[in-house]
């Protein structure tokens, strides 16, 4: 499988004799389909657990948490497709009783447990936002932007940087108040995580443009950890969606958070351009959340 220089074939597919060439080509293969960060994660997991396919033994995956198990399965799947042994890999998955999806009941129960007994309440989350903005003033506008849009942390960072350093007239439609992420397909339209558009007020855009802060994941993580503050950006996204049901319909929330299901309606008929008051309701949701975080 290219793991050793003397391994010429796998599943009938010839691969380079040089292990170095094999992994270099695999990395190039990943670069065509994934973002750099996610591609590196897949590459590292594939190298670390390559023996699972080579030895036809996936038993170690059954000792992992659901999240880690799924990540390793995806990495080995990419490796198997690249190496020409994907059919055998699918048989191994079936033989070991591994599942590609996480049990929905477990997800809901875990969320309920996390918020039971007053832990992680909405007020607690708003207090966290206020604390971050008070302790790290440079983050204030970025925190407001993330809360107002419901974007994932990496998406919020990319969007913020585009607003500051990119071609704003191309990215932001001032007439509709829309940040058009879809124009930057490689950045925002990924295999499993997508962002097509977000509503942002002109005042928010102006605040971002006049800020001196240029966010990166490392800067945010290190500065918050230095002060003993947890990273709760996933909770902000959850809050935006949960609070949003007051003003937005579920298909609208799903679309604005980049979840386009396989339903006939979402794939063939849902078009936010036909919803005249969508901007008004989305910005109302954002403004109410921002007021609660001040």
What pLDDT was estimated at residue 247? Answer: 96
| Whether residue 269 has pLDDT greater than 70 | no
DSSP 180-245: -GGGSHHHHB-SS-B---EE--HHHHHHHHT------HHHHHHHHHHTT----HHHHHHHHHHHHT
Least confident of 26-35, 40-49, 217-226, 263-272: 263-272
Helix (H) or strand (E) holding 124: helix 122-135
| Whether residue 120 has pLDDT greater than 90 | no
Average pLDDT over residues 34-52: 90
The more confidently predicted of residues 192 and 280 is 280
69, 61 in Cβ contact below 8 A?
A: yes
What pLDDT was estimated at residue 163? Answer: 97
Confidence tier at 102 by pLDDT (50, 70, 90): low
Tell me what percent of the residues of the chain surpass a pLDDT of 70. Answer: 82
What domains, with CATH codes, occur in the chain? 9-95 (no CATH), 108-292 (1.10.443.10)
Retrieve residue 254's tokens. Answer: 């799903």
What pLDDT was estimated at residue 7? Answer: 39
Helix (H) or strand (E) holding 173: strand 172-173
Confidence tier at 140 by pLDDT (50, 70, 90): very high
Place of tokens 């936002």: 129
What pLDDT was estimated at residue 67? Answer: 81
What pLDDT was estimated at residue 270? Answer: 67
| Whether residue 32 has pLDDT greater than 90 | no
160, 145 in Cβ contact below 8 A?
A: yes
Least confident of 36-50, 225-239, 255-269: 255-269
Retrieve residue 146's tokens. Answer: 């993330």
Place of tokens 């506008």: 141
Model confidence, pTM: 0.68
What pLDDT was estimated at residue 272? Answer: 72
Quick: pLDDT tens for 156-213: 999 999 999 999 999 999 999 999 999 999 899 887 789 999 999 999 999 999 998 9
Least confident of 24-28, 42-46, 103-107, 195-199: 103-107
Average per-residue pLDDT in the chain?
Answer: 86
Q: What are phi and psi of 146, to 5 degrees?
A: -65, -40
| Whether residue 11 has pLDDT greater than 50 | no
At residue 7, the 3 state secondary structure works out as coil
| Whether residue 259 has pLDDT greater than 80 | yes
Confidence tier at 2 by pLDDT (50, 70, 90): very low
- Could you tell me the end-to-end alpha-carbon distance of the chain, in angstroms, rounded to an integer? 56
């Amino acid at each position: 499988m290219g793991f050793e220089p003397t391994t010429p074939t796998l599943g009938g597919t010839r691969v380079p004799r040089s292990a170095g060439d094999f992994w270099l080509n695999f990395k190039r293969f990943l670069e065509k389909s994934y973002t750099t960060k996610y591609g590196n994660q897949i590459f590292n997991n594939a190298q670390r657990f390559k023996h699972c396919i080579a030895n036809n033994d996936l038993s170690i995956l059954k000792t992992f948490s659901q999240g880690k198990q799924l990540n390793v399965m995806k990495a080995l799947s990419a490796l198997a497709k690249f190496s020409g042994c994907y059919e055998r890999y699918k048989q191994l998955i079936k033989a070991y009783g591994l599942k590609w999806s996480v049990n929905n009941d477990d997800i809901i129960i875990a969320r309920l447990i996390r918020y039971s007994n007053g832990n992680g309440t909405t007020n607690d989350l708003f207090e966290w936002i206020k604390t971050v903005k008070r302790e790290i003033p440079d983050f204030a506008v970025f925190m407001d932007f993330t809360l107002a849009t419901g974007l994932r942390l990496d998406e919020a960072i990319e969007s913020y940087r585009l607003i500051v350093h990119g071609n704003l007239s191309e990215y932001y439609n001032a007439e509709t108040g829309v940040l058009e992420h879809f124009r930057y397909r490689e950045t925002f339209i990924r295999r499993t995580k997508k962002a097509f558009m977000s509503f942002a007020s002109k005042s928010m855009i102006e605040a971002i443009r006049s800020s001196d802060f240029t966010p990166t994941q490392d800067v945010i993580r290190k500065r918050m950890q230095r002060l003993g503050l947890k990273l709760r950006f996933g909770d902000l996204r959850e809050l935006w969606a949960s609070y949003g049901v007051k003003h937005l319909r579920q298909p609208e929330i799903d679309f604005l958070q980049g979840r386009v299901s396989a339903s006939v309606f979402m794939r063939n008929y849902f078009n936010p351009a036909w919803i005249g008051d969508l901007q008004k309701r989305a910005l109302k949701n954002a403004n109410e959340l921002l007021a609660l975080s001040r």
